């Protein structure tokens, strides 16, 4: 089973951007889709998008298209999620997953002025 390590919690201002990283151990990084899923406080899981590193094939949920970019650095087994034009409603825990498996406790992104 792959191990995923995400970057730490951040506080961002409205209108700014956030970049969250997800480093994968093991040799499965290339093979499986890396997804980004977020969970606002007290809410359910929301799939944002993903990438299959070996094909560099991206896939985004409609509501995030144009505002999120997901990339994968094959040299470091690290995936990134960049979310632009942050709003208070983007305050959430952001998880990455490789295949079906989620990493750790996620990354808390707080958007506040």
Partner 1 sequence: EIVLTQSPATLSLSPGGRATLSCRASQSVNTYLAWYQQKPGQAPRLLIYDAFNRATGIPDRFSASGSGTDFTLTISSLEPEDSAVYYCQQRNDWPHAWTFGQGTKVEIK
Binding region for partner 1 (CB under 8 A):
1, 33, 35, 37, 44-47, 49-50, 52, 57-62, 95, 100-106
Q: How far is the CB of 61 from partner 1 (least distance, A)?
A: 5
Q: Considering beta carbons, is residue 86 or 96 the nearer one to partner 1?
A: 96
DSSP state of 7: P
Q: Considering beta carbons, is residue 37 or 86 the nearer one to partner 1?
A: 37
Q: Considering beta carbons, is residue 15 or 99 the nearer one to partner 1?
A: 99
Q: How far is the CB of 77 from partner 1 (least distance, A)?
A: 19
In angstroms, the CA 18 to CA 110 distance is 10
Beta-bridge mates of residue 44? none
In angstroms, the CA 52 to CA 6 distance is 18
Residue 79 in contact with residue 19, Cβ under 8 Å? Answer: no
């Amino acid at each position: 089973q792959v191990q995923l390590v995400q970057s730490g919690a951040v506080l961002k201002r409205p209108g700014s951007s956030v970049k969250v990283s997800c480093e994968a151990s093991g040799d499965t990084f290339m093979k499986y889709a890396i997804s980004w899923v977020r969970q606002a406080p007290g809410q359910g899981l929301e799939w944002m998008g993903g990438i299959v590193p070996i094909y560099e094939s991206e896939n985004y949920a409609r509501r995030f298209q144009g505002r999120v970019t997901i990339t994968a650095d094959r040299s470091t087994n690290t995936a990134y999620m960049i979310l632009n034009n942050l709003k208070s409603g983007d305050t959430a825990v952001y998880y990455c997953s490789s295949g079906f498996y989620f990493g750790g406790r996620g990354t808390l992104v707080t958007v506040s002025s």
